[in-house]
Structure 1
Amino acid sequence: MTTVASPATVTTADIPNLDPVPTFTPIAEPGPGGLPLIQLPSGHSAVHLTRYADVHKLLTDPTSGRTETNVEGGPSFLPTVMPKELLLNLDAPHHARVRNFVTADYSVAGVERLRPVLDRVIDEGIARLRAAQAPDLFADLVDRVPVTVNCHFLGVPLEDVAYFRPSSRVVQIASHENVPDLVQHFYRVYGYVQELVTGARPVLAGGLIEKFRSERDRAEPPLEEAELTGLFFGSLLGADQNIVSVLTKSLYVLLSAPALWRRLAEEPEIAPQLAEELIRLIPLGNISAFPRIAGRDLETGVGLVPKGTVVYPDAFAANRDPEVFPDPLTIDPDRQPAKRHLQFGYGMHHCMGSALARMEIVAVLTRLAREFPTLALATDPASVPWDDGTVLRRPTALPVRW
């Protein structure tokens, strides 16, 4: 297809409400050795790493981990602790044991088997949009795609969605305003997953829950029920709510900048690289990573970070490092970066659902561009309502016209 001229330059500043208000507070006085410090919502100070090279170094350092932060009174953005069995809370060598167990199923080839389900769900959403008197891209399509695909993937009955999903949203918002309510919703979802793993609730044949229960001996030692529960709890939330958030914001950006949507409509084949550019720039929630404890002395561009220091590897800032991404705030569909963005993490804690997220986001962008080349927001972008939470931050409606 003939390449069209690049659209007028669009930057993140042109998109209302895209960037979150930081949930940390900069500390004016530098730390030992001149290290930049922030105060976390938990009250702890942390070294703030913002350069790509420094964030990448910490994320790929096997000695620097998460376990020591996920404790009562620990340095955290969250108002409460999470179960230690969650994959994002595991450190070496336990993380590798669990991660290696699931790698094949969550790989690019592993999630490709979900393509027919994904295509069907998108077809259904497009039909709803066309039939709606007041079409809402979020409610009619985006909000339904990841949860339906994920239920099929895991073997979760679709009729259970109404039970666990409202609580999943509350858990991801992770508000500090009502911690008892948050904890109640957390254990509603966690207990539900626990019942699926133990067999107290039925699962659908052919899903990962059934498969992993029967194959747990592949791990050495075999995976325990608590470990499977932690694994599937993360997947139930992440492969649904996280993908919804990034997909919704991607479409919000494109429709808030009509020149970008026109470019995609004229060249739907650019969807994969455009999706990567959007993912680079769009933080999942109000944070872009969880704190770590430096497991050794680390030389960084801002000074020596001593062993035992609490560190916040700010992937959001690193993805906008001009030394790695020239004109970093420009949304460039043609960007060919020399290095991979850090939005899915890196190293040990690289998001296991990244292949699934990419597949779903690219598929939705491609189909919508082909079906609705004149798609546009039916309201001022600044008036779009948002959920605004720690891990979940996204528009809650996308009224459209074409």
Structure 2
Amino acid sequence: MTPENPMLSCPLRYPFGQRHTLDLEPDYRRCGPVTAVELPSGSTGWLVTDHALVRQVLADPRFSRERANQPHVARLSTEVLPSAAILATDPPRHTGLRTLIAPIFAPRQVAAMEPAVTSLAHRLVDELVADEEPADIVTRFTEPFAAEVVCEIFGVPEHFRHQVFVLGDALTARDATLESLAVARAECESLARAMAAENPTVLFGRLGASAESDEEVLNLIIACLIGGRGSPTVFLSSAVFALLREPRHFRHLVKRAELIPAAVEELLRFVPVGVGGGFTRVATQDVQLGPVLVRVGDAIIPAMHAAGRDPRVFDDPDSLVLDRGTRLPHLAFGHGTHYCVGAGLARLEARIALETLTTRLPGLRLADPADNGTWRTGRVVRSLERLDVAWT
């Protein structure tokens, strides 16, 4: 980052705070639309919180994901992704990788999964209510629900699933070392090959074509399995908490189930999944970004969750308002080239989860109204570890 930028004289430490829960840290109120920040590694970057400017960063090809995948670039995680990873590529390579997985998440494919996903949600509720209350809804419902869905869509054999998720946790630790990350990723690759040998369907069936394509397919499998379980679990757990900590919200959906699709969109806007902004970009040329002239080589961190609280776009942005409608311009799934390919599946999961909980457990509530949940630390996501609920 160049010394000519005057805002870099005293950057804010980022991510804000030590404990990350459902609520955005007050430090975001200190930020302008573009703010200089220093990450734990000591690297500095520009944190972008303005809705319009975050959209610009996400869509503008002058802000590169590929060039940001370097050890010296400001980042939340110590992991540097393999060059073949879809999350670390720009078009045209990114476009080619995306076409390999896009058919799996096509609208018709997602719609065809609705009966199975609904059956899974009801089975998990059956198992939940068969035991005594209170119960932890994270380990008993949201986590297995998200995990089973992604494993089914990719055909992951049952006896491999636990190991997949253990390795996923290792890869999303903020304090992981380069050595531990390398070991976890190597184990993920070995596991993917073992799964392909047993069930050569969908992506697994593409392994073995060539060394180059194998590397790309392996990284796609890792990204889809880890992201497809991790982000939905984090979102669904926090969404349920957001509805239950103000019980009127959950009761409202019990009475008016037709609002659930709109509620899903509002929860996507309101619930922050990451502890900080999204994947870093690097400017490939000088760009005027709002009030700041971003120089070539500068790191930019687009904070999608903060953009969801922009008062110029959303009225009363810090309040959960379930009937804002189904066409909210939130950025929960990103924007532009890297828009989440699994957005349709994530929406289906969220809708079915809320429909099932509101119809099967209309009395669902926090076991202790004062409970703020138990939150994991040292992650790159805001992850609820435990949330005890009751229902009778």
Q: Give the alignment's TM-score, normalised by structure 2.
A: 0.86
**Counterpart in 2 of 1:155?**
155
Letter of the 2:267 counterpart: L
**Counterpart in 2 of 1:313?**
302
Conserved 8 A contact 2:21-2:382: no
Letter of the 1:256 counterpart: R
Conserved 8 A contact 1:21-1:286: no
Deviation at 1:136, TM superposition (A): 2.6
Letter of the 1:165 counterpart: F
Please say if 1:18 is aligned against 2:22: yes
Partner-residue secondary structure (3-state), 1:133: coil
Conserved 8 A contact 1:85-1:230: yes
Letter of the 1:124 counterpart: R
Conserved 8 A contact 2:265-2:326: no
In angstroms, what is the RMSD of aligned CA positions?
2.7
In 1, Cα distance between equivalents of 2:167 and 2:298: 34
**Counterpart in 2 of 1:191?**
190
In 1, Cα distance between equivalents of 2:318 and 2:25: 16
Please say if 1:209 is aligned against 2:203: yes
Cα distance change of structure 1 residues 260 and 324 upon mapping to structure 2, 3 Å threshold: same
Cα distance change of structure 1 residues 151 and 244 upon mapping to structure 2, 3 Å threshold: same
Please say if 1:368 is aligned against 2:366: no
In 2, Cα distance between equivalents of 1:260 and 1:122: 21
Per-residue CA distance 1:95-144 (angstroms, 9 max, x = gap): 01111232232133222222232122112101111101133322222111
**Counterpart in 2 of 1:9?**
none
Alignment of 1:2-401 (within 5 A): 17-19=21-23, 36-134=35-133, 135-172=135-172, 174-176=173-175, 180-196=179-195, 199=196, 201-203=197-199, 207-210=201-204, 212=206, 224-336=213-325, 340-401=329-390
Partner-residue secondary structure (3-state), 1:208: coil
Deviation at 1:226, TM superposition (A): 0.5
Letter of the 2:390 counterpart: R
Letter of the 2:143 counterpart: D
Partner-residue secondary structure (3-state), 2:198: coil
Deviation at 1:177, TM superposition (A): 6.1
Letter of the 1:325 counterpart: F
Cα distance change of structure 1 residues 141 and 46 upon mapping to structure 2, 3 Å threshold: same
Partner-residue secondary structure (3-state), 2:104: coil
Q: What is the percent sequence identity of the aligned residues?
A: 26
Deviation at 1:285, TM superposition (A): 2.4
Conserved 8 A contact 1:289-1:312: yes
Conserved 8 A contact 2:189-2:218: yes
Cα distance change of structure 1 residues 192 and 22 upon mapping to structure 2, 3 Å threshold: farther
Conserved 8 A contact 2:45-2:298: yes
Conserved 8 A contact 2:22-2:382: no
Greater shift in the superposed pair: 341-350 or 75-84: 75-84
In 2, Cα distance between equivalents of 1:118 and 1:311: 38
Structure 1 residue ranges without an equivalent (≥5): 1-15
Deviation at 1:20, TM superposition (A): 5.3
Partner-residue secondary structure (3-state), 1:57: helix
Deviation at 1:35, TM superposition (A): 6.1
In 2, Cα distance between equivalents of 1:223 and 1:341: 36
In 2, Cα distance between equivalents of 1:116 and 1:337: 23
In 1, Cα distance between equivalents of 2:107 and 2:378: 30
Greater shift in the superposed pair: 253-262 or 290-299: 290-299
In 2, Cα distance between equivalents of 1:53 and 1:339: 14
Conserved 8 A contact 1:164-1:188: no
Q: Give the alignment's TM-score, normalised by structure 1.
A: 0.84
Conserved 8 A contact 1:239-1:356: no
Per-residue CA distance 1:203-226 (angstroms, 9 max, x = gap): 2x6x42245559x89xxxx97010
Cα distance change of structure 1 residues 262 and 158 upon mapping to structure 2, 3 Å threshold: same
Equivalences, count: 370
Per-residue CA distance 1:259-310 (angstroms, 9 max, x = gap): 1001011011211111111111212121230110112333332233233321
Partner-residue secondary structure (3-state), 1:382: coil
Structure 2 residue ranges without an equivalent (≥5): 1-19
Conserved 8 A contact 1:285-1:389: no
Cα distance change of structure 1 residues 65 and 323 upon mapping to structure 2, 3 Å threshold: same
Partner-residue secondary structure (3-state), 1:103: helix
In 1, Cα distance between equivalents of 2:118 and 2:328: 31
In 2, Cα distance between equivalents of 1:35 and 1:275: 29
Letter of the 1:202 counterpart: E
In 1, Cα distance between equivalents of 2:275 and 2:88: 19
In 1, Cα distance between equivalents of 2:214 and 2:176: 32
Per-residue CA distance 1:317-350 (angstroms, 9 max, x = gap): 1111111111111111111387521111111111
Conserved 8 A contact 2:364-2:390: yes
Letter of the 2:300 counterpart: V
Deviation at 1:366, TM superposition (A): 0.8
Partner-residue secondary structure (3-state), 1:105: helix
Cα distance change of structure 1 residues 35 and 250 upon mapping to structure 2, 3 Å threshold: closer
Greater shift in the superposed pair: 319-328 or 67-76: 67-76
In 2, Cα distance between equivalents of 1:39 and 1:273: 37
